[in-house]
Amino acid sequence: MSQVTTQLTAIIEREGTGYVALCPELDIASQGESVEDARQNLSEAVELFFDAAGPSEVQRRLHTEVYVTRLDVAVG
C-alpha cells in the first residue's frame, strides 16, 4: 500500500531549557532539546498516531481548519 503525505502545522516554543512542539490539527504534542529535535519528535508522534488510530479516531481528532496568525495588541 502506498503512503500519502499531508502537511500539518507544528507550533514550537521554548519551555525552560528545551522546546515543546504542538500539532493543533490533532492536539498531539512532543518535546526536544532543540527546535529540530522537537519537530522530529512531533513528526514521529503524529506518524505513530496515524499508524495506530482507526479511521473513526482520526476523523474525531482531526481539525482541518487551523489558522496561525499574529495579533497586534495594545499593552499598557
Residue 74 pLDDT > 70, yes or no?
yes
pLDDT by residue (tens digit) across 11-69? 999 999 999 999 999 999 999 999 999 999 999 999 999 999 999 999 999 998 999 99
CATH of domain 1-76: 3.30.160.250
Distance CA 53, CA 47 (A): 10
**pLDDT given for residue 24 in this prediction:** 96
Distance CA 2, CA 19 (A): 33
Average of per-residue pLDDT across 5-9? 91
Distance CA 68, CA 37 (A): 22
| pLDDT band at 1; cut points 50, 70, 90 | low
**pLDDT given for residue 72 in this prediction:** 97
Domain borders along the chain are 1-76
